[in-house]
Amino acid sequence: MPKICDKRWLVSAGRFKYFTRMKPHMLLVNPPIYDFTAYDFWLRPYGMLRVAGQIKHACELSFFDFLVSKQRDAWGRGPYDCHDIPKPKAFRDIPRGFHRYGRARKEFREFLKSQFFEIALIQTLMTYWYPGVQEVIEDLREFQPGAKIILGGTYATLCPSHAQSLGADLVVEGSDLEPLWQLLSMQPRTGVPFWPQGSERAGVIKITEGCPFRCSYCSTQLIWPEFTTRPVRDCLDEFEQLAKMGVRNIAFYDDALLYRPDQALMPFLKEVIDTRTPVFFHTPNALNARFMTEELARLMVRAGFTSFFFGLESCSFPWQQATGGKVCSEEFADAVGYLRASGANSIVTYIIVGHPDSDSQHLEQSICFAHECGTRVLLSEFSPIPGTTDSKKCEEWADLKEPLSHNKTAFAIRRLGINYLNTLKGLSRRLNSQLPAS
């Protein structure tokens, strides 16, 4: 790639300093969140950091993370700094306070004044979090007007036209990074992710990409059309990198972690066990109970899996079949039994609330069923995702062309009504309180 020389005058200690940099300076940004609720549930910009790991040989990298939780529990989770802000007009009917989560904007603006960047790479997540992305772009244009701004991630993939309207130079859709390499005029190299200083609080990893199922409410197929396993050696290199950093809580971001376990998960875990590294593994992206076996449960517990999250969504068999048939209630109950027999204590079940076909979900029955199986219940508010089958059913409650309408809190309230939603939350809290602390 051609060398980029940046010659600028800086004032330091009362004297002018002249410097030449032979590598372009890239800024990585994890934007703030604008929402009704937000929490550091092992939330890391893993995709962006993996991309940075492929180009760190050719770029000087800096990282500004708005989402730093200052108080964390034993598993590395915690709240963000939070400030009340006016609700957008799109949420005037939602009786909830609206907030900005993350470090103060002025911190970022001061940071931008102190350095020079040729490139800015911004991670995007939820489509309805775009106001945080917009804020970052506005500040970059003001203080770094010459920087090329690149967006990637979920929002960039699901709403590319809307993302482009924010003023980025490139919107990278899906997992095809060729447009990025072309813009940067560089070739990627294999390597571990770029984890900046301060990442020790918790790490994330993926050993597979995509999912074999086509659930009607899920965006995975739109981002990763095919299921693939990553080379075990690459995954172990990432694990060893995190272990050397002192990370002790690692969350798997896989969408189908248990699928074809002989190809990825089992050989990975056997190697981890041999290293005798003290680690706590977590599964916030939800496990598919269909693929849990007695052998796999024992191996996962032995390797350090501490929290298990299952995506049951509903105990209604017709609803399960209509949305993709990824799991049935009997398979779920068996999976919980295997984990209990292996010594697992923290097992959580996701139940979707606010789905457009809620009437056939048997929500209260589903919550009670998950409780009777011995798991804690975590209600997962439904978000309409453009391009999915279920999004077509949501037009009565949301304008899908406006990403703010995808907001899970707002959509669940509009679909179910706030009183019934609060009833479901109260039922879940009451049943969870009856279980022993994990």
Half-sphere exposure of 170 (CA within 13 A, CB side): 20
Residue 143 and residue 109 in contact, taking contact as beta carbons nearer than 8 Å: yes
Q: Check: pTM over 0.85? Answer yes or no.
A: yes
Q: Could you read off the pLDDT of 76-100 as tens digits, one per residue?
A: 999 999 999 999 999 999 999 999 9
Q: Could you read off the pLDDT of 220-239 as tens digits, one per residue?
A: 999 999 999 999 999 999 99
Alpha-carbon span 81 to 78, nearest angstrom = 10
> 100 - beta bridge partners?
34, 83
Q: Domain 202-433 in CATH: superfamily?
A: Aldolase class I (3.20.20.70)
Place 135 in a pLDDT band, splitting at 50, 70 and 90: very high
Residue 195 and residue 49 in contact, taking contact as beta carbons nearer than 8 Å: yes
Nearest residue to 416 (alpha-carbon basis) of 361, 334, 336: 361
Residue 319 and residue 356 in contact, taking contact as beta carbons nearer than 8 Å: no
pLDDT at 437: 77
Residue 365 Cα distances to 316, 353, 362, 368, 369, angstroms: 9, 13, 5, 5, 6
Q: Cβ neighbours of residue 60 under 8 Å, at least 6 residues apart?
A: 21, 23, 24, 25, 26
Nearest residue to 29 (alpha-carbon basis) of 112, 127, 96: 112
Instruction: Classify 22-184 by CATH class.
Output: alpha beta
DSSP code of residue 166 = T
3: pLDDT strictly greater than 80: no
Start-end of CATH 3.40.50.280 domains in the chain: 22-184
Start-end of CATH 3.20.20.70 domains in the chain: 202-433
Nearest residue to 64 (alpha-carbon basis) of 120, 18, 118: 120
Alpha-carbon span 393 to 385, nearest angstrom = 11
